[in-house]
Amino acid sequence: MWPLPLNSAVMGAATVLDTVPRLVLVVALAAGTGVSAGGLLAVLAFTSWPAAARMVRAQMLRVRTLPFVEAAQATGMPAGRVWLRHAMPHAVTPLRTALPLSLASLLALESTLSFLGIGLPPNVASWGRLLASGRDAPQAWWLFLFPGILLIISILLLHTLGRRPAAR
């Protein structure tokens, strides 16, 4: 049986996804697949995983050389258990910081798509759809101002949450 180069396959797929600008890729996929809420969620998830995968990989490369992992391996613990019980909890630590920042990015991207009219379906509320309603009545400035301010506040709060140190 040939070994599967999982690390190379995952990082290669992440590199391929990162070669195309994210907005262009999401617009092409969202326009091509239709605009259901589940479809849009799948497209956003499909295009957002490479950064998290790179962070976890880098942490795993660092954690696997730490003394407590070597000690667990020296006791004869199976490799899968060492990975699951000892290495993985330390490897996902950066994701606690990256998650709010990633959510802020996804919120901005979904709002952009909805503003352009290719995001969520018309019967689903969205910041971008509320902002787009300001195009129909340019004299009604409040249709654009208040959703825009709330969108900016939401994104800034997620960024602030991402910068907070993790509780120990």
Domain presence at residue 61: yes
Q: Is residue 28 part of a domain?
A: yes
Q: What is the dihedral of CA 2, 18, 29, 24, to 10 degrees?
A: -160
| Vertex 163 angle, CA 158 and 168, to 5° | 110
CATH assignment at residue 133: 1.10.3720.10
Tokens of 156: 């800034």
78 assigned to some structural domain: yes
Does 1 map to a domain? no
Question: Rounded to a whole number, what is the largest CA-CA distance in the chain?
Answer: 73
pLDDT at 3: 61
Residue 109 belongs to a domain: yes
Helix (H) or strand (E) holding 10: helix 6-19
Domain ranges, residue 91: 6-163
Domain membership flag for residue 87: yes
168 within a domain of the structure (yes/no): no
Reading the chain (168 residues) residue by residue, the pLDDT tens digits are: 456 688 888 888 888 888 888 888 888 888 776 677 888 888 888 888 898 889 888 888 888 888 988 888 889 888 888 888 888 888 888 888 888 888 998 999 989 988 888 888 888 888 888 888 888 888 888 888 888 999 999 999 988 887 776 555
Q: With beta carbons less than 8 A apart as the criterion, state whether 86 and 2 touch.
A: no
User: What is the domain count for the chain?
Assistant: 1
Residue 149 pLDDT: 93
Q: What is the dihedral of CA 45, 46, 52, 57, to 10 degrees?
A: 150
Q: pLDDT at position 143, please?
A: 83
Asked if 26 and 42 count as a contact pair (C-beta separation under 8 A), the reply is: no
Q: Is residue 121 within 8 Å of residue 114, measured between CB atoms?
A: no
Q: What residues contact residue 3 under an 8 Å CB cut-off, 6+ apart?
A: none
CB 148 within 8 A of CB 129: no
128: number of Cβ within 10 Å: 23
Q: pLDDT at position 2, please? A: 56
Give the C-alpha separation, 157 to 161, whole Å: 6
Q: Name 18's Cβ contacts closer than 8 Å, sequence gap at least 6.
A: 50
